[in-house]
């Protein structure tokens, strides 16, 4: 009986760990702290709704390229399930999966969807960064 319980417990722990890896994606999480806006570095803010494939896919695509831009650009998530994130989305009329690029001083530079193609995403980020550098 104990052996069966131990095997089932180990399986459930492994299943939960796998689920977290699949949900969280690669690398460290992107912060939901929107107070970084206007603090001297451009910011890309993704509007995100938990358990939504659209927002989750966009978030994973940003995580894949983020390390290449960390020195030039901050990334943040406006979580629609949190008051601060919901207020941000409402202020700029953004929906789940859309992103706002903000200048160093916090002024909005543009709204975009996060493209599925990594090269297109990089091209858009480079273009926006060229506008503010």
Q: What is the pLDDT of residues 55-93, one digit of tens each?
A: 888 989 999 999 999 899 999 999 999 999 999 999 999
Tell me the pTM.
0.76
Would you list the domain boundaries of the chain? 30-132
Q: How confident is the model at residue 17 (pLDDT cuts 50, 70, 90)?
A: very low
Give the residue, 13 or 46, on which the prediction is more confident: 46
Q: Which CATH code for domain 30-132?
A: 3.40.30.10
Q: What is the pLDDT of residues 22-64, one digit of tens each?
A: 444 455 678 889 999 999 999 999 998 888 888 888 989 999 9
Q: 64-75 in b/e burial notation, b at 16+ Cβ within 10 A?
A: eebeebeeebbb
Q: 34-44 in b/e burial notation, b at 16+ Cβ within 10 A?
A: bebbeeebbbb
């Amino acid at each position: 009986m104990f052996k069966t319980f131990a095997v089932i417990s180990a399986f459930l722990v492994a299943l939960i760990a796998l689920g977290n890896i699949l949900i969280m994606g690669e690398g460290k999480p992107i912060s939901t702290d929107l107070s970084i806006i206007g603090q001297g570095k451009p910011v890309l803010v993704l509007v995100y709704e938990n358990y939504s494939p659209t927002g989750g896919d966009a978030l994973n695509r940003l995580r894949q390229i983020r390390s290449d831009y960390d020195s030039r650009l901050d990334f943040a998530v406006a979580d629609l399930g949190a008051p601060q994130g919901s207020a941000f989305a409402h202020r700029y009329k953004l929906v789940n999966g859309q992103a706002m690029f903000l200048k160093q001083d916090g002024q909005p530079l543009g709204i975009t969807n996060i493209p599925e193609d990594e090269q297109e995403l990089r091209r858009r980020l480079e273009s926006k960064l060229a506008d503010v550098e």
